[in-house]
Amino acid sequence: MHKIKIINCKTCGIEFTPKSDNNIFCSRKCFKKDYYHRCKGQELSAKKYPEFTCPSCGQHITLDFDPSKDTFRWLKYQCPGCSTLMINVSEQIITQDISKT
């Protein structure tokens, strides 16, 4: 007599009956989520974003996005110290080396 094996999904923890001995995910969605966190998530967490000094108030700022890829967000970005819009001082910032990645 063969016992039915029930295991927990590696991603979501739901109990399921695997179709083969190699299955550790309950669905393709859970497999893709795990793959993303293993492969893509490590690349994203290791990514460094630009740092610069605000020309108006002198505060050192580290961005949480890439201004070359997300230009709309960069144009609306305000300095946390003096609330100056970066679109107004972008020429002064370009002279700084903010491309440290």
- 56, 87: one domain: yes
Provide the β-strand partners of residue 78. 85
- 36, 66: one domain: no
Note down the domain range covering 63.
Answer: 51-94
- 40, 55: one domain: no
Model pTM score: 0.40
Q: Percent helix, strand and coil across the chain, each rounded to 5?
A: 30, 10, 60
Q: How many domains does the chain have?
A: 2
List pLDDT tens digits, range 6-63.
Answer: 888 888 888 988 888 888 899 999 898 888 888 776 555 556 777 878 877 888 888 8
- 89, 61: one domain: yes
Residue 101: pLDDT band with limits 50, 70, 90: very low
CB 100 within 8 A of CB 87: no
pLDDT of residue 22: 85
- 67, 39: one domain: no
Provide the β-strand partners of residue 40. none
Quick check: is 82 in a domain? yes
CB 54 within 8 A of CB 82: yes
- 38, 55: one domain: no
- 56, 88: one domain: yes
C-alpha count within 13 angstroms, C-beta hemisphere, residue 37:
7
Place of tokens 């610069």: 52
